[in-house]
Amino acid sequence: MSDTDPIVVPLVPRTGGQPKTDPATRRGHIAFDRKELSQILNIYGRKVASGEWRDYAIDTLKEKAVFSVFRRTSECPLYRIEKVPKLSRRQGAYSVVAATGLILKRGHDLARVLRVLDKGLRLVEA
């Protein structure tokens, strides 16, 4: 190999297979899709407008994707919205986890799981 020859990096592993089209799965990480992020950011926007939440973080890990919600930037997250595809056939891929680690809601439908964060005050009769 000389100094003028181009460096060729194979895109498909030599063991066979096709290249994956999704950039998140190509890296081997789980991510939220556009529809899921739209639902999450819809609730996040309402909570920011009411002054309850101020910051968020998105983590894409090998086994799960996490959307963390913060009251202040320097604190630990108030809530974590997690997507774990391995649990999709069992309890559901989506869950909302409180700061203490308690799972508030888990299910197959993200909209239903997010309702736990959007509950308003109810009038209780004595």
| pLDDT over threshold 80, residue 93 | yes
pLDDT score at 25: 47
Digit-coded pLDDT (tens) for 27-37:
678 888 899 99
pLDDT score at 120: 63
Q: Are strands 103-107 and 94-98 parallel, antiparallel or unpaired?
A: antiparallel
Quick one: CA dihedral 51, 52, 55, 58, positive or negative? Answer: negative
Digit-coded pLDDT (tens) for 50-92:
888 899 999 888 988 999 999 887 778 899 999 988 888 888 8
Q: Is 71 exposed, middle or buried (0-12, 13-18, 19+ CB in 10 A)?
A: middle
Digit-coded pLDDT (tens) for 5-47:
666 555 555 555 555 555 544 567 888 889 999 999 999 999 8
Whole-angstrom distance, CA of residue 106 vs CA of residue 69: 17
pTM score = 0.71
